[in-house]
Amino acid sequence: MITEDSKRFLVKAKQALSNNNEQLALEYFERAIQLERTPETCSYLGYCLATQRKNFNEAISLLQEAIDREPDNPLHYLNYGRILSMSGDKDQAAVILRHGLEYGLHFEIIGALEIIGPRKPPVFKSLPRKHFINRYIGLILSRFKFR
């Protein structure tokens, strides 16, 4: 059961987040999680930690906890995908976002997937996508519109 103080901080944090004041939202989510550790608070706090402090390890840990406790909530997958995208792992972000769509149609997830965009196959399939040869040859080919 969520306490009244925790609920109040959660409402204020969501309002701050909807007003694009992520720093204030982060402070409210930190206060809320001190009072009660819910999956929703973990999810939002993880997102704010990633955006404001670039603390991706702790953010990912909080999102994994939220998903473990509430695996059928697409909001957690949205926040997790956003964090992975911010950290540079767009492939895994797309996988997580698509997994979130399995639990219901969520327009923010669809929007996040559109931002990531379709991934072109690596130039050299025998090398990992992140290998410097694949990245730089792919960039060069894209610049000259061969890809």
State which residues of the chain have pLDDT below 70: 1-2
Q: Which CATH class is domain 4-116?
A: mainly alpha
Q: What pLDDT is attached to residue 46?
A: 97
Q: What pLDDT is attached to residue 3?
A: 78
Q: What pLDDT is attached to residue 120?
A: 79
Q: What predicted TM-score, i.e. pTM, was given to this entire model?
A: 0.81
SS3 category, 123: coil
Q: Rounded CA gap, 86 and 70, in Å? A: 23
E-strand spans in the chain?
none
Q: What pLDDT is attached to residue 51?
A: 95
How far is CA 9 from its chain centroid?
22
Long-range contacts of 55-58 (CB under 8 A, 24+ apart): 56/83, 56/86, 56/87
Give me the residue spans of the domains in the chain.
Answer: 4-116, 120-147
Q: What pLDDT is attached to residue 2?
A: 64
Q: Rounded CA gap, 126 and 120, in Å? A: 15
Look-up of token digits 């025998």: 126
Q: Rounded CA gap, 9 and 44, in Å? A: 12
pLDDT digits (tens, 9 = 90+) for 66-101: 999 999 999 999 999 999 999 989 989 999 999 999
CB-count exposure of residue 30 (10 Å: 0-12, 13-18, 19+)? middle
Residue 12 token pair: 């204020």
Q: How many residues does the chain have?
A: 147
